[in-house]
């Protein structure tokens, strides 16, 4: 049936008992309303594309789509068809392209695996970076990398900062930026979305350093610790080495005969092998652990893994210090050593060698590199022996009080 479609006419059409009926519009040729036995009334429009096929389109249902709206939609398709534009063909092509993109899509988890195996595997801190990134993306690891946006990365940084660990949020920002750049270069994402991310906090260098008197107070406080953590912290203070290097110390790295610790490149922050002299006091601390020399690690609760829980150890020490004692960190031991010895006239270059600092100036010559590896070993021994004498007040009786820190 053909008619000038009006609302009154369409409302008057009764729902068929079975099958369906159609009413064609005389105003817009090709437009018709199909009425089903279920009561649903659907708009259809049929038009041949110039140079192509005759196409059938649906516009939704009446009265949700009015007569006027249906005629406008039909006119749009008519104009497109006259220009050779095939909506259905374009939709099929878009769907095919999306299906192909979905098949080739890489998830965040897959991208993290590649980032870990290609880039992080070469870094000393690669495992820690990988753990941080996987924890950050834990809730979205199955998401398509192509859908990842800059705002998503910033939200991860902000969420980390909201936990109160703003410095760690800054580290996460650096990891995310590198991961995004890596993914952009490999085509996993269309833009380098890691650029321009905000830090959680502006970090400034700490001016705090422990005085010799404060170091002596901490030294005495270590005797409330157990015979595991006490010697560990005292050796850390005596050698002025990095916390991870002493905490992970293995018996194979201790040379009692030559009175030194020998670390290979992979065990140090800058990747350079390092020798640290052991004063008499340092040897004494190691000897308290000598009955456990069959273990791999010098400082271990299990014999198989290194000691941990430094925050609890510090809390226990803090309880023995005066209330007015200013905030401090284990890393401050290194600064205290360097500051004290420099003030006593020792050469800063030799102090830097003891601390195993990487050169901060221009690259040294080949001769200088060889010289720097072994320079002033005797002077370094003398300085560490002198530091031990300054640190320890031999008048104080040394007792180890068992305590699980």
Model-level pTM?
A: 0.52
The span from the CA of 316 to the CA of 222, in Å, is: 9
> Does the structure show a pLDDT above 70 at 405?
no
More confident residue, 373 or 99: 99
CB 329 within 8 A of CB 233: no
Q: What is the dihedral of CA 207, 213, 214, 218, to 10 degrees?
A: 150
CATH match for 212-391 among 3.30.530.20, 3.40.50.10420, 3.40.50.1970, 1.10.443.10 = 1.10.443.10
| Domains 2-103 and 108-185 belong to one CATH topology | no
Range of lowest pLDDT (2-11, 69-78, 248-257, 356-365)? 356-365
DSSP annotation string for 28-75? STTEEEEEETTS-EEEEEEEEPTTS-EEEEEEEETTTS-HHHHHHHHH
The span from the CA of 56 to the CA of 44, in Å, is: 7
Range of lowest pLDDT (179-183, 216-220, 325-329)? 325-329
pLDDT score at 273: 87
Domain ranges of the chain: 2-103, 108-185, 212-391
CB 77 within 8 A of CB 45: yes
The span from the CA of 241 to the CA of 112, in Å, is: 33
Band of pLDDT at residue 138, cut at 50, 70 and 90: very high
> Does the structure show a pLDDT above 70 at 127?
yes
CATH match for 2-103 among 3.40.50.1100, 3.30.160.390, 1.10.10.10, 3.30.300.210 = 3.30.160.390
Give the bridge partners for 41, in sequence order: 35
CATH match for 108-185 among 1.10.10, 2.60.40, 1.10.150, 1.20.1740 = 1.10.150
The span from the CA of 259 to the CA of 271, in Å, is: 22
CB 289 within 8 A of CB 296: no
| Mean pLDDT taken over the chain | 87
Characterise 343 by phi-psi region: left (phi > 0), alpha (psi -120 to 50), beta (else).
alpha
Looking at residues 78-106, what average pLDDT do you find?
Answer: 81
> Does the structure show a pLDDT above 50 at 363?
no
> Does the structure show a pLDDT above 70 at 402?
no
């Amino acid at each position: 049936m053909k008619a000038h479609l009006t609302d009154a006419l369409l409302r008057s059409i009764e729902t068929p008992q079975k099958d369906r009926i159609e009413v064609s519009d005389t105003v817009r040729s090709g437009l018709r309303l199909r009425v089903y036995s279920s009561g649903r009334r659907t708009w259809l429009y049929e038009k041949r594309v110039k140079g192509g096929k005759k196409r059938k389109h649906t516009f939704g249902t009446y009265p949700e789509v009015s007569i006027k709206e249906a005629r406008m939609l039909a006119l749009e398709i008519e104009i497109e068809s006259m220009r050779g534009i095939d909506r259905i063909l374009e939709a099929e092509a878009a769907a095919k392209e999306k299906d192909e993109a979905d098949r080739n899509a890489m998830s965040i988890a897959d991208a993290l695996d590649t980032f870990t195996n290609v880039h992080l595997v070469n870094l000393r801190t690669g495992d820690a970076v990988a753990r941080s990134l996987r924890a950050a993306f834990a809730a979205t690891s199955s998401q398509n990398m192509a859908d990842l946006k800059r705002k998503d990365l910033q939200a991860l940084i902000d969420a980390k900062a909201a936990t109160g660990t703003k410095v760690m949020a800054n580290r996460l920002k650096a990891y995310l930026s590198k991961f995004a750049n890596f993914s952009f270069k490999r085509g996993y994402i269309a833009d380098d979305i890691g650029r321009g991310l905000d830090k959680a906090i502006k970090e400034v260098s700490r001016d705090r350093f422990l005085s010799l008197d404060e170091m002596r107070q901490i030294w005495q406080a270590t005797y409330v610790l157990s015979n595991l953590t006490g010697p560990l912290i005292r050796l850390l203070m005596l050698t002025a080495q990095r916390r991870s290097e002493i905490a992970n110390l293995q018996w194979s790295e201790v040379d009692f005969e030559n009175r030194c610790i020998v670390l290979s490149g992979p065990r140090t922050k800058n990747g350079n092998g390092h020798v640290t002299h052991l004063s008499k006091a340092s040897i004494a601390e190691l000897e308290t652990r000598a009955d456990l020399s069959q273990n791999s690690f010098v400082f271990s609760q299990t014999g198989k893994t290194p000691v941990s829980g430094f925050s609890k150890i510090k809390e226990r020490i803090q309880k023995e210090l005066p209330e007015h004692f200013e905030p401090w960190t284990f890393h401050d031991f290194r600064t205290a050593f360097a500051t004290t010895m420099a003030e006593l006239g020792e050469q800063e270059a030799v102090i830097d060698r003891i601390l195993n600092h990487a050169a901060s100036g221009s690259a040294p010559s080949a001769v200088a590199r060889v010289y720097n590896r072994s320079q002033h070993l005797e002077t370094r021994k003398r300085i560490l022996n002198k530091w031990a004498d300054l640190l320890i007040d031999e008048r104080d009786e040394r007792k180890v009080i068992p305590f699980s820190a």
